[in-house]
Structure 1
Amino acid sequence: MFLFFICFVSYSQRQFTVKYTHEKIELDGELSESVWEQAGVADGFWQFFPTDSIKSGLKTSIKFLYDDKNLYIAIQVFSSGNDYVVPSLQRDFRAGGSDNLSLVFDTFNDGTTAFLFGINPYGVQREALISNGGADTSGFSTAWDVKWKAETKRYEKYYVTEMEIPLTSFKFKEGETKWRFNSYRFDTQNNETSTWANIPQNQSIFGLAYMGDMIFEKPLGKSRTPLAIIPSLTSYVVRDYETNKTSSDVKLSTDVKISLGNSMNFDLTINPDFSQVENDNLVTNTTRFEISLPERRQFFIDNSDLFANFGNTREANPFFSRRVGITRNKDDENVQNDIIAGVRLSGKINKNLRLGFLNVQTEEDLPNEIPSNNNSVLILQKKVFARSSVGIIFVNRETFKDYDFVEASERYNRVVGIDYDLASADNTWVGKTYLHKSFTPQTDHDDYSGGFNLGYNTRKYNFNIFSRYVGTDFNSDLGFIRRTDVLAVNPTAERVFWPVSGKINNHSIRFSPSYIFSPDLGYKNTDFDIRSSYRIEFLNQSNFRVQLTNNYTFLTDSFDPTGTDGATELPANRGYRYDSFEVDFQSDRRKKFSFSINPEIGTFFNGEQYSIDGNIQLRLQPKFLSTLRLDYRRIELADGFPSASIWTIEPRFEVTFNKFVFWTTLVQYSNRNDNLGVNSRLQWRFSQLSDFFLVYNDNYFTQTIEPKNRSISFKLTYWLNI
């Protein structure tokens, strides 16, 4: 039981003082104000890569000041030359493989959530929310947006950045005198990654278990309550060539964001346009089950971890926000369901208690037999011990009134649940256990979902055990339930080796068997996959992996993995054993030309399969970036069953004229979906977080190259702080 009560520890505890100032700071990248000479400083960075036991080879210095409204930051980053890697001038860039510096602020000193602000040598900004202790990339979201200023100037072998971040951009307790802080830097010229607070390499570089302290000279005051009004205007014209009809529409929407005190957010959306001006990536899915894609809509972003992390996020998640605004029509097709209005309240009630509430009302569509639904979520989460938490959730979807076309069993759906998330102070131990129950009319059998996982993570050894149970009748209309009638167990063991010399940074062997049983079939073993892999991470930042997988699938229903119309399906009530071998290589992303490739070959059900997927990237920085994603899969089943070649091809071209005007064109080809699509988007960021989008979409049948539909649309969004 000691791991539940362990106190906060730090790999290298550090601190500095943030001095209060009355002097006006001009953001020009010159540090001409004399007050910077008295400012508290964070310097003396530690290496994180290629090793974590020595100081960084080149100086990085970060100074801090603040007044009643803003936090001011002066950054000096020294390099061995001026050959920086900056793939694009677009905001919210990806950090890996390029030069940049990020600042991480844990304003509640809880080691679970944090705010991140980043900059690169060309002055391009990014901001992100970190959740789940920053244990992995699932707790890192650049979809969050907030207003702040920065100016950067490049000099001979170093660059200087001055930042002004409004204190209203953070959430914190009134009267606070200390935040936890860390910073990390990518230096491509010296092939080095470094951090201010020393972090062991087996941990995430943005992990919140290893941080220092920033001490404010005087307590932080009560933040004013900022009001942001975000109106948007969307208009489109669509030509449908299948029905030979043209339609158009104009939609005015309004979002309102209010900070309640220093730590709560209130969001209101009226007649929202939840259309996305950027297409989702295509995914080749040859399984029998649904896949999930990430949320990008701004209304759902703040404190998104509070709503999204209940249950098993990949398999049995009681609330998946992308369900809101999507429904099925009378033909059982997924269609967009207009939203009348929605409200959202989220944040910290006090240091240890978080609250989340969401309520969204959707519009009825009688011709398509779509009822008006009220969708609501209520969450309370309490921090316990060092970095762990206990949370309860209530999810409700209910028709707003009685409809003749709505069956009694579809009038409502509710889920209640409790989760315990474990994270030890040094992140060596992580885990989760949960129990959820759904309530649906005329269903009261096997409607539970539960799970348990525990992980042990050290420099040399990693052990994990995952398990979950999803009853046959468990359901969440607002959640993501990939599969029911499941009892699954998945242990994993990994040994990592760290050579002291040579071209390899680390290499590891991993063994991960996964077994699925069916409670309805007397706990029959219906699936397993046993994965054995070996991985190498090289000092030049490329990596290589080989994996052998042994599979077994017992089909309870007939199934055609090729998705061929009218083809003979594999018969039900029969088991299939098949194996595969794959190789994965990622080249050094610092290079102007980089690539990844993943070939796989093996048996597949009663036949064979081979595939290759990969990605090619060409960078002509900082103005042009092109990528080509390719996924080819050849399935050859036994005689009498279908065979298919499945192609997904996605070339993407990004032109960044400057830090405010961007042109992106994405071509998506999928012969399985019988679609060739072109999405071309021109974006003008005419003011902070305010954009004008002009979007052209064109879709064709792949067999005949005849047009399906064509559209042109624009979206104007203005972010007004009052």
Structure 2
Amino acid sequence: MPRQYFALALLLGSSFGATAGDAGNFHLDIPMLTAPAEIDGRLDDAVWQQAATTQLTIETGPGENTPAPVMTDAKIFATQESLFVAFIAHDPDPSKIRANLSPRDRNWGDDLVGIKLDTYNDARLAYQFFINPFGVQADSIENELTGRESDAWDGIWYAAGEMTDKGYQVEIELPFRMFNFDKASVQEWGFELIRYWPRDENHRLSTQARDRDNNCTLCQLGVVTGLEDLEQGNDLQITPSLVAGHNRDRELPNGDWQDETDVDVGVDVRWGITPDLLLSATINPDFSQVEADAGQLDVNNTFALFFPEKRAFFLDNKDYFDTQMNLVYTRNIGDPDYGAKLTGREGQHTFGALVANDTQTRFLVPGNLSSSVASIDKESQNVVGRYRYDVSSGLSIGALTTLRKAGDYHNYQFATDIKYQPTDQDTFTAQYSVSNTQYPEGLYKEFCGDSDNCEIPPGGCERGDCDINERVLRLLKQEDFDGDLLRLRYQRETRNWYANLHYQATSADYRADLGFVDRVDFNKFVAGGGYIWYPEDATFNRIRWGGDWDITHNDAGEELEREIETSLELEGKLQSYMEMGLVHRSRVGLREDKSILNIEDNTTLFHETFGWFYGEFWPAQTIKTRLNMSYGDTIDFANNRPGTNTRFRPGISWDVMDNLALDFAWEYRSLDVAEGELFNASLGDLRLNWQLSLQSFLRVSSVYTDIQRDPSLYLYSTPDSEYKGMFNEVLYGYQLNPQSVFYLGYSDGFRQDDEIKSLTQDEQTLFMKISYAWLI
């Protein structure tokens, strides 16, 4: 059967099962009032006396729908412009309340109250809002279709909290202009009120029970009614910005400093044309990142590193473009002059369109043993289109297209996807994608170490004889070429048992240059499952044991990898979470004759056995510790031989004071071969945040890398014996809301290697940003 029709066959003869929020789980009728409440955390406005009231009486975790151990009262009402919610969180010992004045979205681990809203009540997406006792906000979007939750989205809403002698209380205002919802005069939304009460265990309290035998969480929301004739106003947000920066850099060891000053003026527009249709546009956008990416050690890796998107324009309604695979990775659009995005929903139809240029054109060159990044010095045009049809609450069918073009380069992609839930426990997903790509003539030559030695000799290339590698071979295309991808997955999850089957086939010529698909020319099958226990009155309240087996071939049928793995998860006292596993696998190393992509008789088969562990717990009310480690066999990819890998990554988060937080992570890695230690590498990542108020902060971050190598043990190259690097940043910020901000910062970079004998500064940047969101 052709693979593009196989996913559809999974659907034949089945019945629909999953449902949306149900008033039988919980129901509240929200009164519509004319007067708003003042958001100050005091609950002394007379309007609260007219609000609907309820209580969070059920613990859904770790207790399984048991009575809540503490009492939480909630009040809720609406005006035509906003939804108002108040919590009164009682506590038998208020001195144990965890609350910190921290940055937005960084209050996890504190005492929290919050609300979850599915504004279409169809179990696809839900907005989540959480607040700690000091009024620090966190918001996110839960996506049932992908099974992921993103806290990168930031809405403009209002909250305040106040500690009391009996606990704490919180007031919230959620403007309707922030949401997408049906244009109907009467609304019915999926709904849940939640409280996290972190003590020895982190108790999750709710207005409704949660069935652990149902793997769809949004299907189990309650329902609120009474919302009538909601107004979003003009729902127009205009955010002008001014960004100024002065940058100095130089070539080490003796280069002169080169100075550059940039001043840019830009504007972002966000227009809610209707409650379910949103237009976003940007001109000369500021896509500078205020927070540096977390440090990553890039040693003994053959595949490109992934960094998450953080830029507001791309994050707004990002979920409308998501599919089961990462086929839209907007960090590939690095430096646009303009962008526009239209997202909307009409009944069962959801759609999105994105257009942007990019002054730099970067994309992945994927393979089956490695991947890397290529770039073209031409402006590209980028287009993304997404459509999803929700046939029923249990069946969704979607389509996605991406187009990228720069001169004689292009990458076009079209994909279809299906998610089907015939029962509360079973989920089928399928995705099929085709692509057409054209590389510029001679692009491959830019990635050869020696352009005079970049042609393939008649007899091929023995290792080290010529500068051909997998990236060059994947780029050696004289004309446009086509490829396809198929992904099938079945999951069954009950209260105690789970099982999954997974198959993915990605052809050698498939490319998703606006996505993050770093591996092609492989076909992988995975089968796994396990069992879950929920002990009562024990050290661990949840124990999960499982494992899987997988096998991978290339398009030619040559085996790349075969693996079996078992793992154990434990959750319990001290808010502890531990996960450990043991892996045994056989996989091929690098190609010996680099001028061909063959695997058999051209690679070495290595056998690896290794173990890994991850754990985190709270030894004290203000300290969270974590540890990630692994040890065992690995491949020395630089020299294509077996080695022993040691990885050790401890970390600590310490709330030094209520408004001063320190986060430190240190990673150590070493690779030993038969002749000795090939390298050891360490990375330290320090973040210090002083929250001066809810609106202002001072942040200091520093990332330090130290890599020591023994060049005498390298067979095919002579690397530097040492490399050291340091990146530092000091940032002051004032935020009225996520879009109205003032930032002033300084950053610099240092480098050291065999030629540069000490850490020497090679980059300095001073920058400022001012933006203000006009809500019209």
TM-score, normalization: structure 2? 0.82
What is the deviation of 1:146?
Answer: 2.2
2:725 matched residue in structure 1 = 675
Give the superposition deviation at 1:448: 0.5
Match of 1:119 in 2: 131
1:193 maps onto 2:169 in alignment: no
Kindly indicate whether the alpha-carbon contact (under 8 Å) linking 1:699 and 1:708 is maintained by their aligned counterparts in 2.
yes
List per-residue Cα deviations over 1:245-291 (Å, max 9, x = no partner).
Answer: 12111111111110110011101110112121211112234332123
- SS in structure 1 at match of 2:538: coil
Q: Identity percentage over the alignment?
A: 21
SS in 1 for 2:651: strand
Deviates more, 1:267-276 or 1:508-517: 508-517
Is 2:183 the counterpart of 1:183?
no
Q: Is the 8 A contact 1:48 1:201 kept in 2?
A: no
Contact 2:528 2:548 in 1 (8 A): yes
Say whether 1:52 aligns with 2:64. Answer: yes
Deviations 1:623-677 (A, max 9, x none): 11111111111101244x9811021211111111111111111111123574211
The answer to whether the 8 A contact 2:266-2:286 is kept is yes
Q: How has the CA–CA distance of structure 1 residues 369 and 589 changed in structure 2, closer, same or farther, with 3 Å as cutoff?
A: same
Instruction: Confirm whether residue 391 of structure 1 aligns to residue 445 of structure 2.
Output: no
Following superposition of structure 1 onto structure 2, how do residues 65-464 of structure 1 map, counting pairs within 5 Å? 65-82=77-94, 83-95=96-108, 97-132=109-144, 135=147, 139-174=148-183, 175-189=185-199, 191=201, 192-200=203-211, 207-216=217-226, 219-242=228-251, 243-244=255-256, 245-285=258-298, 286-310=300-324, 312-313=325-326, 317=327, 319-325=328-334, 338-348=335-345, 350-363=346-359, 370-399=377-406, 402=407, 408=408, 410=409, 412-423=410-421, 426=424, 428-441=425-438, 447-464=483-500
Equivalent residue number for residue 474 of structure 2: none
What is the one-letter code of the residue matched to 2:189? W
Report the CA distance shift for 1:200/1:94 in structure 2 as closer, same or farther (over 3 A).
Answer: farther
Q: Of residues 518, 524, 527 in structure 1, which corresponds to 2:561?
A: 527
Query: What are structure 1's unaligned runs of at least 5 residues?
Result: 326-337, 403-407, 561-570
Is the alpha carbon distance of 1:106 and 1:425 closer, same or farther for their aligned partners in structure 2, counting shifts above 3 Å?
Answer: farther
The structure-2 alpha-carbon separation of the partners of 1:121 and 1:7, relative to structure 1 and needing over 3 Å to count, comes to closer
Partner in structure 2 of residue 568 of structure 1: none
How many residues of Structure 1 are paired with residues of Structure 2 in the alignment? 673
**Given that residues 239 and 267 in structure 2 are in contact (C-alpha distance below 8 angstroms), is that contact kept between their aligned partners in structure 1?**
yes
1:524 to partner: Cα distance? 1.6
Task: Give the Cα separation in 2 of the matches to 1:241 and 1:177.
Answer: 60
1:28 paired with 2:64, answer no
Contact 1:110 1:387 in 2 (8 A): no
1:396-423 CA-partner distances (Å, limit 9, x unpaired): 1112xx5xxxxx4x2x110011011234
Alpha-carbon distance between aligned partners in 2 of 1:424 and 1:77, rounded to the nearest angstrom: 39
Q: What is the SS of the residue equivalent to 1:168?
A: helix
What are the superposed Cα offsets for residues 170-228 of structure 1, whole Å, 9 maximum, x if unpaired? 11112133111012211124742212221245778x93121101111x52345333111
Amino acid paired to 1:373 = S
Q: Answer whether contact 1:636 1:644 (CA < 8 A) is retained.
A: yes
Cα pair distance change 1:369/1:446, threshold 3 Å: closer
Is the alpha carbon distance of 1:6 and 1:151 closer, same or farther for their aligned partners in structure 2, counting shifts above 3 Å? closer
Distance 1:169 1:446, change over 3 A: closer
Shift of 1:578: 1.3
Bigger shift: 668-677 or 458-467?
A: 668-677
Q: Distance in 2 between matches of 1:636 and 1:190?
A: 41
CA distance in 2, matches of 1:559, 1:250: 51
| SS class of match (1:322) | helix
Query: Which residue number in structure 1 is paired with residue 472 of structure 2?
Result: none
Alignment correspondent of 2:773: 719
**How many Å separate the matches in 1 of 2:314 and 2:213?**
31
In structure 1, C-alpha distance between the alignment counterparts of 2:523 and 2:376, rounded to whole Å = 36
Measured after TM superposition, the shift of residue 395 of structure 1 is 0.8
What is the rounded CA distance, in whole Å, between the counterparts of 1:710 and 1:203 in structure 2? 54
CA 1:194 to 1:133, structure 2 compared with 1: closer, same or farther past 3 Å? Answer: farther
Cα distance in 2 for residues equivalent to 1:392 and 1:143? 24
Question: Secondary structure of the equivalent of 2:228?
Answer: coil
**How far does residue 42 in structure 1 lie from its aligned partner after superposition?**
3.0
Q: Match of 1:122, SS?
A: coil
For residue 116 of structure 1, give the secondary structure of its aligned residue in structure 2: strand
Partners of 1:555 and 1:151 in 2: how far apart? 57
| Alpha-carbon distance, 1:29 to partner | 2.7
Counting only pairs closer than 5 Å after superposition, residues 664-703 of structure 1 correspond to structure 2 as 664-672=699-707, 674-686=724-736, 689-703=739-753
Cα offsets for 1:81-126 (capped at 9, x unmatched): 223212443222242x220112011010111111122211111122
Q: Among residues 565, 575, 591, which one is paired with 2:605 in the alignment?
A: 575
Unaligned runs of 5+ in 2: 1-12, 362-374, 439-477, 595-600, 636-641, 708-722
Cα distance in structure 1, aligned partners of 2:294 and 2:659: 23
Shift of 1:556: 4.7
Matching residue of 1:566: none
* 8 Å Cα contact 1:635-1:643 kept in structure 2: yes
Distance in 1, Cα, partners of 2:245 & 2:306: 27
Which region of structure 1 is more displaced relative to structure 2, 301-310 or 412-421?
A: 301-310
Is the partner of 1:32 in helix, strand or coil? coil
**SS of match in other structure, 2:319:** helix
Compared CA separation, residues 386 and 52, structure 1 to 2 (3 A): same
1:455 counterpart letter in structure 2: Q
Q: Is the 8 A contact 2:608 2:632 kept in 1?
A: yes
Cα 1:479–1:55 change in 2 (3 A) is same
- Residue 593 of structure 2 corresponds to residue 599 of structure 1: no
Taking the TM superposition and a 5 Å limit, the aligned residue runs for 1:602-613 are 602-605=632-635, 606-613=642-649
Output one character per residue of 1:539-571: Cα deviation in whole Å (capped at 9) or x when no partner: 3321233311112221353699xxxxxxxxxx9
> Corresponding residue for 2:444?
none
Q: Aligned pair in 2 of structure 1 residues 78, 364: CA closer, same or farther (>3 Å)?
A: closer
Check 1:535–1:147 CA distance in 2 against 1; reply closer, same or farther (3 A cut): closer
Question: Structure 1 residues 152, 617: CA separation in 2 closer, same or farther (over 3 Å shift)?
Answer: closer
How big is the shift at 1:62?
1.8
Moved more, 20-29 or 458-467: 20-29
Q: Deviations over 1:500-519 (max 9, x none)?
A: 33222021211122321111
> Would the alpha carbon gap of residues 592 and 29 (structure 1) be closer, same or farther in structure 2, given more than 3 Å must change?
closer
CA contact (8 A) 1:81 1:189 kept: no
Q: Distance in 2 between matches of 1:195 and 1:581?
A: 38
Query: Once structures 1 and 2 are overlaid, which stretch shifts more, 449-458 or 5-14?
Result: 5-14
1:654 and 2:689 correspond: yes
- Residues 62, 75 of structure 1: 8 Å contact kept: yes
